[in-house]
């Protein structure tokens, strides 16, 4: 039986993340929107992706670029309306693409009517929908921090209590121990499923519960001090040590008991519908439950907790990840990604500055051949790069702005120095508008309109869709070809993963195997030529794909030479 038949749609799919503010501006106001996305659905279909993850599209004051929702069943005015959303969804479905939405369960915006009510008085019916506590003499209820800076508690003058926020103070945490909250949020989840969406990416899922007794964390340093130490850390060991301290600091704020039960309830809601998907933004794979009753997938973030991707790093990551998933159950499915709206662009982060074009191809080959569902981020297919903003008035990510202010006001840095540091930290750098062509504003929005974030000027140097479409050698066409190729090799989608040559420092090679098809993937992660002996199999070897710089005969038992960042995908017949 065809092993693909047994698989769920999301196990076979390649996902593509759309960051709606930056994708395509259909109404000429400088902000991406549904009209823009609809006009690019054919592009996405041609690219060869199977499903879209849409970052938040809900009404929001945008203190955290849409991750602070003020209405869970609405559409942000600047993006369009429900009818346009529906047109987008149906357009995607007609083209055979699924759509999952971003669901932010941990917190709402402080502008959400629920929070406004909750703030209005201590005896308001929604008071207990958020987390309110009395302070201790002279300060907040405990020493918890927000990873976004400062205390996790905010004083409310009007009612004389503190409320809890894991992220910005403009993102108060919901009290998930209140059954009314659960019901309200589950009904928001149903709202979009009723409209036909195919599932959800669950934002910051591990932060939903806090320790009910709210004890102080045991770390002597403050969050701000720890962050400064992290910036100064010169060795990986010191960094590791500090990150462990950071974990210790958050120990009562994340991954608390009750999570599994909640995920099971949520899965119950999702399973009222046919074949929907839940994928969690979390470091931990624990929330697969028994493999069938909690989340379907959890992003493999440990893979990108490095500044250099080496074969050893990837092998270790995959070994740990796959082993842990197998322990859970045969149903627990891996999911790999190299970047998203929170992390630097792959081109900038993992490129060595000399071979970025070759490396970008190698990284895609990695994503499409490892076991599991790949997630790509919009713009990566044309090699978009980080843009370091040089004017603080252009910043839109509050994280970057607050960081800048802290550098100037607390550390006394000169504004220019602070700006340079902030430009590297802010997530604005990797959220700039999609580059469609080499006209004004890269075709993202009309000439004369000011886009919400500056367009990266490299659009004029070939980093745009239109030029790459006509260039057969372009990165975009490489993406298209490889995405197409993946669809024609079932072993790459359904196959097991087995390392080949486990100690080779330069070449990452592995077998992907289903009954009747065995493929070998070999990826050279070095800037030098590297050799690899092919297995000495009785049959022939069929070359599915090889980079131009791969040389020598590809025959059983022979050594092949992969040029710098070269790659090959073969089938052992
Ligand atoms: C998630 C989002 C990030 C956001 C945070 C708070 O990590 O990916 O963009 O800032 O949650 O909602």
Six-digit token string for 380: 């990566």
Task: Give the number of the atom of ligand 1 that is nearest the alpha carbon of residue 399.
Answer: 10
Measured from the Cβ of residue 125, the count of other Cβ atoms closer than 10 Å reads 11
Per-residue model confidence (pLDDT) at position 40: 98
- For atom 9 of ligand 1, which residue has the closest CA? 342
CA nearest to 557, candidates 573, 537, 536, 528:
536
Burial of 5 per CB tally in 10 Å (0-12, 13-18, 19+) = exposed
- For atom 12 of ligand 1, which residue has the closest CA? 67
**Nearest-angstrom CA–CA distance, 311 and 489:** 23
Ligand 1 center–CA 171 separation, angstroms: 10
- The set of residues, in sequence order, having a beta carbon less than 8 Å from that of 327 and lying 6+ positions away, is none
Per-residue model confidence (pLDDT) at position 293: 93
Task: Taking the CA atoms of 186, 191, 194 and 195 in sequence, report the sign of the dihedral they define.
Answer: negative
Six-digit token string for 420: 């340079």
| Residues paired with residue 102 on neighbouring β-strands, in sequence order | 201
Ligand 1 center–CA 147 separation, angstroms: 11
Helix (H) or strand (E) holding 483: helix 475-488
Task: Give the number of the atom of ligand 1 that is nearest the alpha carbon of residue 106.
Answer: 12
Distance of CA 448 to CAs 28, 272, 444, 501, Å? 9, 48, 12, 56
Ligand 1 center–CA 565 separation, angstroms: 33
Measured from the Cβ of residue 127, the count of other Cβ atoms closer than 10 Å reads 18
Pocket test for ligand 1, best of 204, 282, 343 (most atoms within 8 A of CB): 204
Pocket test for ligand 1, best of 342, 425, 430, 431 (most atoms within 8 A of CB): 342
- 299 Cβ closer than 6 Å to some ligand 1 atom: no
Contact between 541 and 571 (Cβ < 8 Å): yes
Pocket test for ligand 1, best of 21, 64, 165, 304 (most atoms within 8 A of CB): 64
- 203 Cβ closer than 6 Å to some ligand 1 atom: yes
Six-digit token string for 4: 């693909």
Per-residue model confidence (pLDDT) at position 232: 87
Task: Give the number of the atom of ligand 1 that is nearest the alpha carbon of residue 166.
Answer: 6
**Nearest-angstrom CA–CA distance, 28 and 446:** 6
Task: Give the number of the atom of ligand 1 that is nearest the alpha carbon of residue 64.
Answer: 10
Ligand 1 center–CA 65 separation, angstroms: 9
- 167 Cβ closer than 6 Å to some ligand 1 atom: yes
Q: How far is CA 272 from the centre of its chain?
A: 27
> Greatest CA span in the chain, whole angstroms?
79
Task: Give the number of the atom of ligand 1 that is nearest the alpha carbon of residue 67.
Answer: 12
**Nearest-angstrom CA–CA distance, 15 and 384:** 18
Contact between 346 and 338 (Cβ < 8 Å): yes
**Nearest-angstrom CA–CA distance, 498 and 113:** 52
- 166 Cβ closer than 6 Å to some ligand 1 atom: no
Looking at residue 174, the DSSP 8-state letter turns out to be B
- For atom 2 of ligand 1, which residue has the closest CA? 203
Q: Which pTM was predicted? A: 0.97
- For atom 7 of ligand 1, which residue has the closest CA? 204
Ligand 1 center–CA 203 separation, angstroms: 6
Task: Give the number of the atom of ligand 1 that is nearest the alpha carbon of residue 107.
Answer: 12
Render each residue's pLDDT in the chain as its tens digit; 573 residues: 788 989 999 999 999 999 999 999 999 999 999 999 999 999 999 999 999 999 999 999 999 999 999 999 999 999 999 999 999 999 999 999 999 999 999 999 999 999 999 999 999 999 999 999 999 999 999 999 999 999 999 999 999 999 999 999 999 999 999 999 999 999 999 999 999 999 999 999 999 999 999 999 999 988 888 988 988 898 989 999 999 999 999 999 999 999 999 999 999 999 999 999 999 997 777 788 888 899 999 999 999 999 999 999 999 999 999 999 999 887 789 999 999 999 999 999 999 999 999 999 999 999 999 999 999 999 999 999 999 999 999 999 999 999 999 999 988 999 999 999 999 999 999 999 999 999 999 999 999 999 999 999 999 999 999 999 999 999 999 999 999 999 999 999 999 999 999 999 999 999 999 999 999 999 999 999 999 999 999 999 999 999 988 877 889 999 999 999 999 999 999
**Nearest-angstrom CA–CA distance, 153 and 172:** 9
Per-residue model confidence (pLDDT) at position 223: 87
- 173 Cβ closer than 6 Å to some ligand 1 atom: no
- The set of residues, in sequence order, having a beta carbon less than 8 Å from that of 225 and lying 6+ positions away, is none
**Nearest-angstrom CA–CA distance, 444 and 199:** 28
Ligand 1 center–CA 487 separation, angstroms: 32
- The set of residues, in sequence order, having a beta carbon less than 8 Å from that of 8 and lying 6+ positions away, is 275, 277, 296, 333
- 67 Cβ closer than 6 Å to some ligand 1 atom: yes
Ligand 1 center–CA 102 separation, angstroms: 10
Task: Give the number of the atom of ligand 1 that is nearest the alpha carbon of residue 342.
Answer: 9
- 204 Cβ closer than 6 Å to some ligand 1 atom: yes
- For atom 4 of ligand 1, which residue has the closest CA? 67
Ligand 1 center–CA 265 separation, angstroms: 23
Please give the positions annotated as active site: 203, 281
Per-residue model confidence (pLDDT) at position 385: 98
Six-digit token string for 123: 């005896």
Per-residue model confidence (pLDDT) at position 228: 86
Distance of CA 233 to CAs 148, 227, 418, 544, Å? 19, 10, 18, 45
- 104 Cβ closer than 6 Å to some ligand 1 atom: yes
Residue with tokens 């603080």: 392
Task: Give the number of the atom of ligand 1 that is nearest the alpha carbon of residue 148.
Answer: 10
- The set of residues, in sequence order, having a beta carbon less than 8 Å from that of 240 and lying 6+ positions away, is none
- 397 Cβ closer than 6 Å to some ligand 1 atom: no
Per-residue model confidence (pLDDT) at position 325: 93
- 342 Cβ closer than 6 Å to some ligand 1 atom: yes
Ligand 1 center–CA 53 separation, angstroms: 14
**Nearest-angstrom CA–CA distance, 207 and 204:** 6
Ligand 1 center–CA 67 separation, angstroms: 6
Contact between 132 and 206 (Cβ < 8 Å): no
Looking at residue 434, the DSSP 8-state letter turns out to be P
């Amino acid at each position: 039986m065809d092993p693909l038949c047994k698989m769920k749609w999301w196990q076979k799919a390649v996902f593509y993340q759309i960051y709606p503010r930056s994708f395509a501006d259909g109404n000429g106001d400088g902000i991406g929107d549904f009209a823009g996305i609809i006009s690019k659905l054919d592009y996405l279909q041609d690219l060869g992706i199977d499903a879209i993850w849409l970052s938040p599209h809900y009404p929001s004051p945008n203190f955290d670029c849409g991750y602070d929702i003020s209405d869970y069943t609405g559409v942000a005015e600047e993006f369009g309306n429900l009818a346009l959303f529906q047109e987008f969804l149906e357009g995607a479905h007609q083209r055979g693409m699924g759509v999952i939405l971003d669901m932010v369960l941990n917190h709402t915006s402080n502008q959400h009517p629920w929070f406004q009510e909750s703030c209005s008085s201590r005896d308001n019916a929604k008071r207990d929908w958020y987390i309110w506590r009395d302070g201790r003499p002279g300060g907040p209820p405990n020493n918890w921090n927000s990873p976004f800076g400062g205390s996790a508690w905010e004083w409310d003058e009007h009612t004389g209590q503190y409320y809890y926020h894991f992220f910005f103070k403009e993102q108060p945490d919901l009290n998930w121990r209140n059954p009314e909250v659960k019901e309200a949020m589950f009904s928001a989840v149903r709202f979009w499923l009723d409209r036909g969406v195919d599932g959800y990416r669950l934002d910051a899922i591990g932060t939903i519960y806090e320790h009910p007794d709210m004890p102080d964390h045991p770390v002597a340093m403050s969050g701000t001090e720890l962050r400064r130490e992290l910036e100064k850390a010169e060795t990986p060991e010191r960094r590791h040590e500090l990150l462990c301290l950071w974990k210790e600091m958050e120990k009562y704020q994340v991954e608390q008991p009750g999570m599994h039960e909640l995920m099971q309830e949520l899965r119950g809601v999702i399973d009222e519908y046919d074949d929907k998907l839940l994928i969690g933004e979390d470091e931990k794979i624990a929330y697969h439950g028994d493999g069938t009753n909690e989340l379907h997938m959890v992003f493999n973030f440990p893979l990108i907790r490095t500044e250099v991707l080496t074969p050893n790093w990837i092998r270790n990551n995959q070994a740990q990840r796959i082993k842990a998933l197998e322990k859970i159950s045969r149903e627990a499915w891996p999911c790999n990604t190299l970047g998203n709206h929170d992390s630097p662009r792959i081109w900038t982060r993992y490129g060595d500055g000399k071979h970025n074009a070759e490396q970008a191809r190698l990284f895609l080959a990695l994503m499409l051949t490892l076991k599991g569902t790949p997630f790509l981020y919009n713009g990566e297919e044309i090699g978009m790069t980080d843009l370091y903003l040089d004017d603080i008035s252009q910043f839109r990510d509050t994280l970057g702005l607050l960081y800048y202010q802290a550098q100037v006001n607390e550390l006394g840095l000169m504004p220019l120095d602070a700006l340079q540091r902030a430009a590297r930290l802010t997530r604005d750098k990797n959220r700039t508008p999609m580059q469609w062509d080499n006209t004004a504003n890269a075709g993202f929005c009309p000439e004369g309109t000011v886009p919400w974030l500056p367009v990266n000027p490299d659009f004029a140097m070939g980093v745009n869709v239109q030029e790459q479409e006509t260039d057969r050698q372009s990165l975009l066409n490489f993406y298209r070809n490889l995405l197409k190729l993946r669809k024609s090799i079932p072993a790459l989608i359904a196959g097991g993963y087995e390392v080949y040559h486990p100690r080779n420092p330069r070449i990452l090679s592995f077998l992907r195997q289903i009954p009747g098809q065995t493929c070998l993937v070999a990826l050279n992660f070095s800037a030098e030529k590297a050799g690899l002996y092919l297995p000495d199999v009785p049959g022939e070897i069929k070359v599915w794909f090889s980079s131009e710089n791969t040389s020598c005969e590809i025959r059983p038992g022979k050594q092949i030479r992969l040029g710098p960042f070269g790659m090959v995908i073969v089938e052992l017949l």
